[in-house]
Amino acid sequence: MSSSDVDVKIQMAEKTSDAEKMYTYKGVLYPRLMCPEENLKAVENMEAREDDVMLVAYPKCGFNWMVGVLRKIMVEAGGQKSESKTPPLIEFFGPDNLKAVNEAPSPRFLGTHLHPDNIPASFYEKKTKMLVIFRNPKDTLVSYYHFYNNNPVLPSGQSFDSYFSQFMSGDVGWGSYFDHAVGWDKKMDDPNVMIVTYEDLKQNLTEGVRQISTFFGFNLTEDQIQQISGQSTFNAMKQSSADTHGHLGNIFFRKGVVGDWKNNFTPEQSREMDEVFNKRLAGTRLGAKLNYQQHCQ
């Protein structure tokens, strides 16, 4: 899928009712225009490679941030000539584009928002290295709320309160944040999985870039690491977003801060999320990594 394909989908979205924009596949909601059923079916049999560079994130956890970082790392390490502008999400490709991806030279850069149990089995069989970026659930919800209301392929016009309820029951694109987090917590011992958090990267992006390039086996000099992190700050990426993301640039690069939930959650909503976090993630290793006390209370 090229960036002009994305523009076509946006034009189609203008003629699609909100009710038609989402559909359920195997119990999970997806945006129909971006990943229709034929795409999800085609992806199930996708052949992974050991040297694929795979990026995974629940929506709004910083996927596009890491797309920018990884593309820059791959250019600097000599694997790619220039940064591609094509969204790397495997569930957006569709059968035809997947054929081209099957023939693309290594190393391929791929990404997905799919739940870990729905990532094609081949990625686990081939021991493909996967970078997973997570973000605290309160900021993720706020970011997703704004995305729903500004991205034409998603239903819009909902109040924050009604979106809050939908997010909490997992009735949003790609399903429940908490189901994803619990799924990744089970994979924390997998040496081919590296989990980073949005908040840690905000605090020390240079260190993040260093660790990510080492994980994928790309050797970069200290100068290259500094250069990539300088070009991957929120302001730098927002500035070039019209070029990298077209019309949706300002929507993908909205505010880029930790703690915006405080401007949106009522005390009652905050308590409700705390309860779910305590039930599902407190005491887990991913729960500890998310540093909920610091970022969400």
Interface positions with ligand A3P (CB under 6 A): 57, 59-65, 139, 143, 146, 232-234, 237, 252-256, 260
Between 124 and 234, name the residue whose CB sits nearer to ligand A3P.
Answer: 234
Dihedral sign for Cα atoms in the order 68, 70, 74, 80: negative
d(CA 113, CA 175): 10
Q: How far is the CB of 95 from ligand A3P (least distance, A)?
A: 25
Which run of H or E residues covers position 232? none
Q: How far is the CB of 70 from ligand A3P (least distance, A)?
A: 12
Own/partner pairs, 20-25, CB within 8 angstroms, 24+ separation: 21/153, 21/154, 21/155, 22/154, 22/155, 22/173
Interior angle at CA 132, CA 128 and CA 137, nearest 5: 155
Q: How far is the CB of 116 from ligand A3P (least distance, A)?
A: 16
Q: How far is the CB of 203 from ligand A3P (least distance, A)?
A: 11
Yes or no: say if 11 and 98 are a contact pair by the CB < 8 Å rule: no
Between 80 and 143, name the residue whose CB sits nearer to ligand A3P.
Answer: 143
Rg (C-alpha) for the chain, rounded Å, is: 18
CA dihedral 243, 151, 84, 137 (to 10 degrees): 110
User: What's 89's DSSP letter?
Assistant: B
Tell the residue number behind the tokens 């559909």, with chain if given.
23
Crossing angle of helices 267-280 and 177-185, rounded to 10° = 30
Q: How far is the CB of 255 from ligand A3P (least distance, A)?
A: 4
32 — alpha (psi -120 to 50), left (phi > 0) or beta? alpha
Between 126 and 254, name the residue whose CB sits nearer to ligand A3P.
Answer: 254
Q: How far is the CB of 68 from ligand A3P (least distance, A)?
A: 7
Between 215 and 234, name the residue whose CB sits nearer to ligand A3P.
Answer: 234
Distance separating the N- and C-terminal Cα atoms of the chain: 40
Between 227 and 233, name the residue whose CB sits nearer to ligand A3P.
Answer: 233
Known catalytic residue: 247? no
Tell the residue number behind the tokens 């890491």, with chain if given.
66
Between 178 and 253, name the residue whose CB sits nearer to ligand A3P.
Answer: 253
Catalytic residues: 113
